[in-house]
Amino acid sequence: MKLLNIKLILVALLCFSIGFAQQTPAAKQSKAIAITGATAHIGNGKVITNSLIIFQDGVLTQVLDGTTVKVDISKMTVIDAKGKHVYPGFIVPNSTLGLVEIGSVRATDDDSELGSWNPHIRSLIAYNAESKIVESMRPNGVLLGQITPRGGRISGTSSVVQFDAWNWEDAAIKEDDGIHMNWPNSFSRGRWWLGEDPGMKINKNYDEQVSEIADFFKATKTYMAGDKSSKHLPYEATNGLFDGSKTLYINVDDEKGITDAVNFVNEHGVKSTVVVGGYEAHKVTDLLKKNNIAVLLQRIHSRPNQTDDDYDMPFKLAKLLTDKGIIVALETSGQMERMNSRNLPFYAGTTVAHGLTKEQALQLITLNPAKILGIDNDYGSLEVGKSATLFISEGDALDMRTNIITHAFIDGRELSLETHQTELWRRYSEKLSSPD
């Protein structure tokens, strides 16, 4: 009887896995591919109306104006994209994609660790490359992402991956790129559920909390300068901030917090810093510019934080920062962040309605995040020598009405654009159209 039960369980698991199997990762590119006639949005602000794009062995070899230059493409696989648009693969930073599958099921939630000081916790090894949510990013052109931990004062270490792989080892394109920290709030809202005034009030523990961070950084330097007879993983992981091998991503929104955080990293010798959220970053642009600090801007589709803010403040923040010369990219953290990551191009499109040009908006999700994440030598724009990570859309990819992708490639490998969502859509479309 026990053996029979085991067999039944194995059969059930097999059926479950077959019914919910993921798309098999694409095969390595074997033949040169030429995309002809498309409007190419390079990602660096340039546009080629009638382009010729050739890539081989996963690398772009030609990005030309097809009107003025002729190339023999007779021995290549040719994709006629006349009337369509070609874009670099979109990049979503500060994301928990692949770390949580079902929020209400604890066993599928790997986005945070216990404790407050976890720089040594690597999100990459918890990344599920076969996540159904990750798979659903590709049909909207989101092909790369920074997989980021949450929680605590120092959440952990992120890595950058591509979204078509068997496992995290295959997915990784930059391991351990940065450490993520939550800066203390200088102000907080009263806990109305405990009978407190729901208005803003000063955080009386702010200075103490900042001192705790300073103590941790000082302890790291003391440890690294010592004999390290007893290995301390958190300190060793943090050292990357001082030798320049890692970037410090600081989650902070308010003007005072941003100012204090910038002064803090300067005082402690952190080589590279990025502000995440940055709701009031437009108030300290000179400080950010002087210190070469980029901003991963909070989700565009949100409400103003303060009652006296402009009603459209979240929509125009990217414009305000870009005009001041700040490198800005968009992130999607917040409520339902993983599902909303697929809307990344449409967040960028919203910034066009509030002052940016379409090519500036495109940079918010292509070349700018590539620069911030340190992968711009290979990704983020359609330039010779870079990875052939791109897609073809029937129309404007920043507009949800015309973002209809026909082909997508990561490192030259042509992706399947099927997901469990498209399969269900097709299944029920056929059901509704059936005369029976």
Per-domain residue ranges of the chain: 23-88+381-436, 90-379
Note the pLDDT tens digit of each residue in 170-185. 999 999 999 999 999 9
Note the pLDDT tens digit of each residue in 113-159. 889 999 999 999 999 999 999 999 999 999 999 999 999 999 999 99
Q: Is the fold of 23-88+381-436 the same as that of 90-379?
A: no
At the topology level, CATH places domain 23-88+381-436 in: Urease, subunit C; domain 1 (2.30.40)
pLDDT (0 to 100) of residue 239: 95
Q: What mean pLDDT comes out for the span 219-239?
A: 93
Q: What mean pLDDT comes out for the span 423-430?
A: 86
Query: How confident is residue 104, by pLDDT bands cut at 50, 70 and 90?
Result: confident
Over pLDDT 70: what percentage of the chain?
94
User: What's the pTM?
Assistant: 0.91
CATH number of 90-379: 3.20.20.140
Note the pLDDT tens digit of each residue in 368-387. 999 999 999 999 999 999 99
Q: Report, in angstroms and rounded to the nearest whole number, the Rg of the chain calculated over CA atoms.
A: 23
pLDDT higher than threshold 80 for residue 191: no
pLDDT higher than threshold 80 for residue 240: yes
Query: How confident is residue 18, by pLDDT bands cut at 50, 70 and 90?
Result: very low
pLDDT higher than threshold 80 for residue 436: no
